[in-house]
Amino acid sequence: MVTNFRQQEILELARKDGKVTVEGLAELYDVTVQTIRRDLSELADSGRLERVHGGAVVPSGVINIQYEERRKLNETGKKAIAVRCAQEIPNGASVFMNIGTTTEAVAQELLDHENLLVVTNNLNIANILAANHSCEIILAGGVLRRADGGIVGGFTVEMVKQFKFDYSVLGCSAIDADGDLLDFDSQEIMVSSTAIKRSRKVMVVADQNKFERKAPLTICSLNDVTMLFTDGGLSKELIADCAQWGTEVVIV
């Protein structure tokens, strides 16, 4: 019974922070690292967590995590990323923002910006920025995805093609070791890929958990990105690749 209670708490911590570590949990519960490794192995065997070096993360693969759970993952890290990203967007800019909990965090940090033009395929971002009365909001048309308030499909792509943005602020589901940005929905990828082509500067916001997750479809490479905002998780090799590509990495 004690083990079950501890494992439930470990699962809640993983959902909140995106990742748990063996050493951190051993210290928190005042038990041996072997005990924690056994807990994590049992949670992984049941499909509730995925083991990584030194700990475990919320599992991913071909099916994305529920949107409300994603919103709770690493809220502190997403907030820091959003604050820093918003600092790079001047008043009077035109901005595209796609679907994602981290892009929504950026929208919160744009509430005091003046005279923005924001085009988005995210209902949540439109609702957030509605409180900024100097911000003109254009909501892309298309098919509503009820699970997360996203708008996707061919109509959305055609609308995005009409613009030339100063900035696009993009989230993704995962970033591979070779720098590929990954996602789950091909229709969503079409919208993001179009925004990249229609933007003077491409800004990606991705917390450290994205470097430990997997998704089946490619959006683009970090080679196509102007700035990456994150709270860590990049390998030395990927940092070196970004330097070679001219992609600025901002670690908050």
Domain shared by 46 and 154, yes or no: no
The pLDDT assigned to 70 comes to 57
Q: What span, in angstroms and rounded, lies between the C-alpha atoms of 144 and 148?
A: 9
Asked if 73 and 13 sit in the same domain, the reply is: no
Output the domain CATH number for residue 35: 1.10.10.10
- pLDDT value, residue 11: 85
Task: Please enumerate in sequence order all residues whose Cβ is within 8 A of that of 138, keeping only pairs 6 or more positions apart, or say none.
Answer: 117, 118, 119, 120
Structural domain of residue 11, as residue ranges? 2-59
Instruction: Give pLDDT, residue 60.
Output: 60
* pLDDT score at 63: 42
CATH for 164: 3.40.50.1360
The two tokens of residue 52 are: 């990584």
Q: Tell me, what's the pLDDT at 1?
A: 41
pLDDT of residue 5: 82
For residues 26 and 53, membership in a common domain is answered with yes
> Are 86 and 170 within one domain?
yes
**pLDDT attached to residue 17:** 72
Q: Are residues 97 and 176 in the same domain?
A: yes
Residue 171: which of 88, 78, 89 has the closest Cα?
78
Number of separate domains in the chain: 2
Q: What is the 3-state secondary structure (H, E, C) of the chain?
A: CHHHHHHHHHHHHHHHHCEEEHHHHHHHHCCCHHHHHHHHHHHHHCCCCEEECCEEECCCCCCCCCHHHHHHCCHHHHHHHHHHHHHCCCCCCEEEECCCHHHHHHHHHCCCCCCCEEEECEHHHHHHHCCCCCCEEEECCCEEECCCCEEECHHHHHHHCCCCEEEEEECCCEECCCCEEEECCHHHHHHHHHHHHCEEEEEEECCHHHHCCCCCEEEEEHHHCCEEEECCCCCHHHHHHHHHHCCEEEEC
Q: What does the pLDDT read at residue 47?
A: 77
pLDDT at 126: 96
pLDDT of residue 65: 52
Single-letter residue type at 143:
V
pLDDT under 50 in the chain at which residues? 1-2, 62-64
In this predicted model, what pLDDT tens digit does every residue of 57-100 receive, in sequence order? 876 654 445 555 555 567 889 999 999 999 999 999 999 999 98
Same domain? For 72 and 55 the reply is no
What pLDDT score does 69 carry? 59
